[in-house]
Chains A and B, each alone.
Chain A
């Protein structure tokens, strides 16, 4: 039973890492209805830029600030060069544009900083912590704490500030928001910049765990089933979805793996998400669309 709890909690904590990527996704979907496939590439770009600057002798906070500035610059460019010309196009067109964007960002990141694997040390000890007989990774706990802080900050941003209010207005109905004088373009730039910041945080945590390398951009694929389960437009849903996916994939690997062959972590989240969708097509916290002709 102790072993079961260890696997479960390990999975839950790993799920938090997925949620971190998914949150960046949700932000953009919420504010503009764009399904941003480039979030993984943004995570890669942020982590690679940070680690390369850090390795060239820049102190931690300065490197963090410079990387953040770069992410904001990307956000502004994306708004100007991709989103603005594509306004009012179908969601599928916008999705494909972000697919192109992810190729561009990946190409640029590797052309700028090279393709080798960088180690990243955040100064958090990885010694397991014994809590009531269950061993927990300190690093995972730290990641969970970061996610909690991030979610709280974002919810405050959404509910208490003026920009959060306009953001929700845009999400609800872009045309109506424009009509009452909200600047759509500015909202988009802000949202992509915040998503870049979330990507940076996720990139640092993932990079510290896996090493900063190309495979970071593939975490976006792991974030997809998380989003599906949580619903595309709910930050809380991203967290819950992450926990469900993280826990179930670890449990499946341990308990189901020996029966039908290992390595099922690769597809299990998708199949789980699929079964989930058949029951609740809009995810746990997603908004159910009403269709009229």
Chain B
């Protein structure tokens, strides 16, 4: 009876519609947040912050961005990295061209810019469906990276097209140490996840799911397709754009347009396939997998006797295993890692009974 929901009655509409209806969920979330905000900064070391936790948080945010579009609204996209790049370069330019603009405001404006660009490339989605839409997102991918490399203005005429992070200060507090960057990322990601979780259970979120399941039927019951699809592109672009600027500012500290190439788009897509399409929690699980799996594999290869796995082969091996895992997941667990958690929860509800 670890997960007993008996006796937890909602006696008001507000109680019924709160984000986490069960007391266990609320407690677990509060504990987790307290742990992430208070305990981790004291126990973690710099390697953990810079090489594992920050990319994990940023990638889960990027996953959330794509999940809104692909997992909830059903529009397949191979251009997520382009919107990340737009976000990063726009945030950089807002910070640069408008001196005195607070960091969070330039992040926000970067996200808004990415949202606008995403809407432009999402416009064809009304007329084009399914696979044909891939070409629109690919056009975004290649056009954005071309434009950012071609026009020096975007990178402030840096010879190699590289932008570097602005000073990470918010209200006078400096966030440029590894712990500070971790806390900044965590704060932004937590806020956006709260927004995302609320979005998908709003009317808009339900419209997205209707469009995903069958857009003709959705149009028939009066859901405005144009608005719903474009909002999916806009919000996905917004989340991806902020993820992109966090990637540039708090994770790498510097970025070039090629840091956001097609492979990054695939990486984000794999996060949501492995984590679970149409699941908020899945983004965290998929991103954790994405960050930890290469580390695990290289450690495993290091632990084996020397010469058994050639270090040069490691990357090929990793690619192969990744591909195999994607296929295995699609066959065995199409709802991704998030489904495993759901199963655990269902087991815990009945524990110690089996049925």
A residues lining the B interface (CB < 8 Å): 35, 81-82, 85-86, 89, 91-93, 95-97, 99-108, 110-111, 115, 221, 224-225, 228, 232, 261, 263-264, 266-267, 270-271, 273-274, 277-278, 281, 283, 291-293
Chain B positions within 8 Å of A85 at CB level: 331
Nearest first, the 5 closest Cβ-Cβ pairs linking A and B are A100-B326, A103-B323, A107-B320, A104-B323, A107-B319
| Given A103-B322, A104-B327, A261-B150: A111 touches B316 (CB 8 Å cut-off) | yes
Output the residue of B134, B151, B317, B325 with the most chain A CB within 10 A. Answer: B134
Shortest distance from the beta carbon of A7 to any chain B beta carbon, whole Å: 21
- Cβ B134 vs Cβ A281 within 8 A: no
**Known contacts A93-B330, A96-B326; is A281 also within 8 Å of B132 by CB?**
yes
Interface pair B150/A97, CB less than 8 Å apart: no
Q: How far apart are the CA atoms of A259 and B113 in the complex, in Å?
A: 26
User: Chain B, interface size: which category?
Assistant: 35 or more
- Contacting pair B320 A96 (CB below 8 A): no
> CB-CB contacts of B304-330 with A at 8 A, as 1s and 0s?
000000000100111111111111001
Q: Are B76 and A95 in contact (CB under 8 A)?
A: yes
Interface of B is mostly: helix
Q: When A85-B331, A271-B139, A274-B124 are in contact, do A100 and B325 touch as well, CB less than 8 Å?
A: yes
| Interface flag for B146 (CB, 8 Å) | yes
Indicate if B138 sits at the interface (CB-CB under 8 A): yes
Residue in contact with A111 in the complex, picked from B131, B317, B330, CB distance below 8 Å: B317
- Chain A nearest CB, measured from B308 CB (Å): 14
* A104 to B136 alpha-carbon distance, docked (Å): 26
Measured CA separation A203–B131 after assembly (Å): 25
Is the pair A274, B136 in contact by a Cβ cutoff of 8 Å?
A: yes
Chain A residues within an 8 Å CB radius of B319: 103-104, 106-107, 110
Q: Which residue of B lies closest to A100 (CB)?
A: B326
Within B110-152, the residues touching A (CB, 8 Å) are 124, 127-132, 134-136, 138-139, 142-143, 146, 149-151
| Chain A residue contacts of B150, Cβ below 8 A | 261, 263
Assess A100 versus B135: contact at CB under 8 Å? Given A86-B331, A267-B142, A293-B220.
no
**Measured between alpha carbons, how far is A234 from B96 in the docked complex, in Å?**
51
Instruction: Show 24 residue pairs from A and B whose CB-CB distance is below 8 angstroms, ordered by the A residue.
Output: A91-B131, A92-B130, A96-B269, A99-B269, A100-B322, A100-B323, A100-B324, A100-B325, A103-B323, A104-B324, A106-B319, A107-B323, A110-B316, A115-B316, A224-B135, A228-B135, A270-B135, A271-B139, A274-B135, A277-B128, A278-B124, A291-B216, A292-B216, A293-B214
